[in-house]
A = this chain, B = another copy of it.
Amino acid sequence: MDIIVPGHGSGGKLMNDLINHLIKSTLGNETIQLDDAAHLKLTTSSIAFTTDSYTITPIEFTGGTIGSLAVNGTVNDLSVMGATPQYISCALILEEGLEIETLKRILVSMEEAALKAGVAIVTGDTKVVQKGKGDRIYINTAGIGVFTNPLQRREIKPGDTIIINGSIGDHGTTIMALRNNLTFSKGLSSDCAALNHLIEDVIRHYPEAIKFMRDATRGGVASVLNEITKNAPFGAKLIEDNLPEKDEVRGVADILGIDPLYIANEGKVVIIADRSHAEGIVEIMKKHPEGKDACIIGHITEEFSGKTYIQTKIGGKRILPVLIEEQLPRIC
């Protein structure tokens, strides 16, 4: 049996074999049982809870798979709240016909991502849908993180600094290039990564300086900033000269006519911080592999309040509008 058949979702022996011999044995670890529901002990009763479904196509790409993406995305959603990610669930929707070998590679990449992030996959579910009612595999991961030292809410003010941990648009551009068979783009790779260690390090060193953190996924860096500036008494100014962009990303984005500021990232966090500690935060980030290209990309301003805008290389200013239509479906 080397493909998924409807019986793998039946509640019978086929399903039990799949779960026990492939899923549990790949994802399980020695201390925690992957069962219908997991019984967990937390170190605190103040928690963060999040969920995301992943429907990306293709399901395997340079720099990751739908499995590592699902783990890292949920880890990052918890981390940007200031929580320490601990437990992840894994719910699979498998399309009839998916090769078991492919499923195995994806599960292995999930487990590797979980180990790297230091989280445990503790509970799961498997459903099978008929051919043509899915797209090989969809994965939902929910996650629980604990607040050991919760971040205080601090008011964003003109003068605050906008920081990112590295180059923008890598994930979405990699996926677009794959889908469009842009073969010259061999240097492209998704930035898919867990940011919890980097973020925890920043919080540990500068707990007072951080005003806002968000991972810049769907809609990219511009959409994260637009969410903050919407109806706000301040604007967000990006400085084009400072934006870290890889040449390959810029090249593909130009061909496709898309602005990298709106392209999804899967390993990038935007931080708004007090100006006096901005350089220190960048230095901390640079000590982590996921932050080696960290830099300051802009500031919170009094002008253009309610808007996100960019100061271009030639010195002009341009509003970055709220994204309305789809740039690229199923990027995550």
Contacts and interface: CB of A to CB of B under 8 A. Distances in A.
A182 interface: no
Given A325-B7, A326-B10, A41 B46 contact: yes
Looking at chain A's contact residues, the main secondary structure is mixed
B78 A37 contact: yes
Nearest to A9: B329
A72 interface: no
Contact of A77 (B37, B45, B55): B37
A50 B132 CA distance: 28
Interface string A102-120: 0000000000000000000
A325 B91 contact: no
A155 to B, nearest CB: 18
A44 interface: yes
Contact of A329 (B13, B51, B130): B130
A314 interface: no
Given A41-B46, A50-B123, A138-B93, A219 B55 contact: no
Interface stretch (A140-148, A190-198, A247-255): A140-148
A218 interface: yes
* Copies of this chain held together in the complex: 2
Contacts of A78: 37
Nearest to A124: B51
A123 to B, nearest CB: 5
A177 interface: no
Contacts of A40: 46-49
A320 interface: no
A217 B36 CA distance: 12
Interface in A131-172: 132-135, 138, 140, 142, 144-145, 147, 150
Given A39-B48, A49-B144, 12 more contacts: A9-B330, A12-B325, A13-B322, A36-B77, A38-B50, A39-B147, A49-B123, A53-B92, A54-B127, A125-B140, A128-B329, A129-B330
What 9 A-B pairs have minimum CB-CB distances, sorted nearest first?
A11-B218, A11-B219, A12-B323, A142-B142, A37-B50, A51-B89, A140-B140, A10-B326, A42-B45
